[in-house]
Amino acid sequence: MVVVRHGETEWSLSGRHTGWTDLPLDARGRRQAQELRERLRGWRFEAVFSSPLRRALDTCRLAGLDHDPLVRDDLREWNYGRYEGLTSEEIEAQRPGWSLWRDGCPQGEDAAAVGRRADRALAEIRGMAGDVCVVAHGHLLRVLGARWLGLPPEAGRHFALAAAGISVLGHEHRDAVLSSWNQR
C-alpha cells in the first residue's frame, strides 16, 4: 500500500489544524501534486482510495491517480472540533500541556475514534489483491500507518508526514512492515 499525503494548503503551510474544512491546494501544493505523477509512475494500482476532501481529490487528479478513486469518508482528516483552524501554539495558550495524541479535540475526535476509522479503511484495503494507493491527510495517515503495524492509534505521533510525502506499507513474510516513510 502506497500512502500519499495531499499537497500543501494555505493552512498546512501556516501550521493551522485543517481537519474537515474543505480547503483547496495552494500553488505550491498543486506543483507538489503534479510532481507526484513522476514519482508514482512505476506503480500499477489495483485501486486508489481517497478522502472526499478537495485537497486529497485534487492531489489524486494532478498526480494522475484520478481513474475512479474510491472515495471513503473514513479517510477524512482528524476532526479537530473547536480546534479547527488553530495552530498548536494557539491551542496550548488555551490548554497548557495539550497533546492531540493524548487529549484529542473538544467537539471533535480523539485518537481512538480516528483509529476506528483507520481500521475500517484497512479492512477494505486488505481485501484487495494488488497494490493500492491511499491519498489522504497527515494525521489520519499517521494513524493508518500505526494501525497497519498493529500499534495503537496514538503511536502515529512518531510518524511525521510532510505535504506530498509518499510512504509504503507492505509485508515481509506475514508481518506488516513499514517499507519507507515520508519520501519527498
- Catalytic positions are 6, 77
DSSP result, the chain = -EEEE----HHHHHTB--SS--PPP-HHHHHHHHHHHHHTTT---SEEEE-SSHHHHHHHHHTT--SS-EE-GGGSPP--GGGTT-BHHHHHHHSTT--HHHH--TTS--HHHHHHHHHHHHHHHHT-SS-EEEEE-HHHHHHHHHHHTT--GGGGGG----TT-EEEEEEETTEEEEEEEEE-
Whole-angstrom distance, CA of residue 43 vs CA of residue 31: 20
Residue 151 CB burial class (10 angstroms; 0-12, 13-18, ≥19):
middle
